[in-house]
Amino acid sequence: GESVGLHLPTLSVQEGDNSIINCAYSNSASDYFIWYKQESGKGPQFIIDIRSNMDKRQGQRVTVLLNKTVKHLSLQIAATQPGDSAVYFCAENRSGGFKTIFGAGTRLFVKA
Amino acid sequence: GAGVSQSPRYKVTKRGQDVALRCDPISGHVSLYWYRQALGQGPEFLTYFNYEAQQDKSGLPNDRFSAERPEGSISTLTIQRTEQRDSAMYRCASSLAPGNTIYFGEGSWLTVV
């Protein structure tokens, strides 16, 4: 079946360090990718997106990298802060499609 | 409204009862989605609307689940004859247009006892 990010790994980082969260996607037809942050008790919140005609996109403290050759997506968070602690989901969408497919997520813990 | 609004936030119902979950999307958003999210999992697609038209309902688990969006704005997800396995967080999301970034509401937490 369709799948993005098959498990829920945990990443623990020290406050101030950079975080890298990885995601593998399965469908080579996907051309739009999104990262969401979900804090406890809240809905997923959009962080950053990237289309398949790009391999890197930067936002405020966040960078998304896309490697279409190996179908890999990563989210880099610079100078990680305690407020970054959450579950991060990668999601994919296909050209002209509407069904955004989510992975199981990665839980990020930030140690003070 | 400013964000996607869902009600009720929490619902406890007895097995066999029907429940209706409501979603009010972001004003002006054409597309509306229903997802279900289990603990520790990513949202699972249920169904999708463009305006009032239900474009895809392939993710609805069975025929006890239905959804409507009669005027192209507010949507209702109805679960008939609820079962314990229906207990989950039900999330609504909307996007300005099909394929655009989707924005989620806070969800409706359903518990079937």
- Does the structure show a pLDDT above 70 at A5? no
Interchain contact, B99 vs A99, CB within 8 Å = no
CA angle B63, B68, B71 (to 5 degrees): 165
Of A23, A100, A20, the closest CA to residue A63 belongs to A20
Of B42, B25, B30, B29, the closest CA to residue B89 belongs to B42
Q: Which chain A residue has its CA at the smallest distance from B31's CA? A: A98
Interchain contact, A104 vs B48, CB within 8 Å = no
Report pLDDT digits (tens) over B43-96: 999 999 999 999 999 999 999 999 999 999 999 999 999 999 999 999 999 999
Torsion from C-alpha of B11, B40, B44, A4, nearest 10 degrees: 170
- Does the structure show a pLDDT above 80 at A3? no
Helix (H, G, I), strand (E, B) or coil at A73: strand
Side-by-side strand order, sheet with B65-68: B5-7, B19-24, B75-79, B65-68
Helix (H, G, I), strand (E, B) or coil at A54: coil
Interchain contact, B99 vs A89, CB within 8 Å = no
Closest in B44, B101, B104 to A43, CB measured:
B104
Tokens of B95: 């996007």
Of A50, A21, A55, A52, the closest CA to residue A37 belongs to A21
Cβ atoms within 10 Å of A69's Cβ, excluding its own: 8
pLDDT level of residue B110 (50, 70, 90 thresholds) = very high
Question: CA of B67: how far to CAs of A20, A84, A91, B57, in Å?
Answer: 38, 35, 24, 9
Interchain contact, B40 vs A104, CB within 8 Å = yes
Q: Which chain B residue has its CA at the smallest distance from A9's CA? A: B40
pLDDT level of residue B14 (50, 70, 90 thresholds) = very high
Closest in A43, A89, A100 to B105, CB measured:
A43
Q: What is the mean pLDDT of residues B29-45?
A: 92
Query: With an 8 Å Cβ cutoff, is B100 touching chain A?
Result: no
22-41 of A, contacting B, C-beta below 8 A: 32, 34, 36
pLDDT level of residue A17 (50, 70, 90 thresholds) = very high
Q: What is the pLDDT of residue B99?
A: 78
CA angle B102, B89, A88 (to 5 degrees): 55
Q: Which burial class, exposed, middle or buried, applies to A28 when counting CB atoms under 10 A from its CB (0-12, 13-18, 19+)?
A: exposed
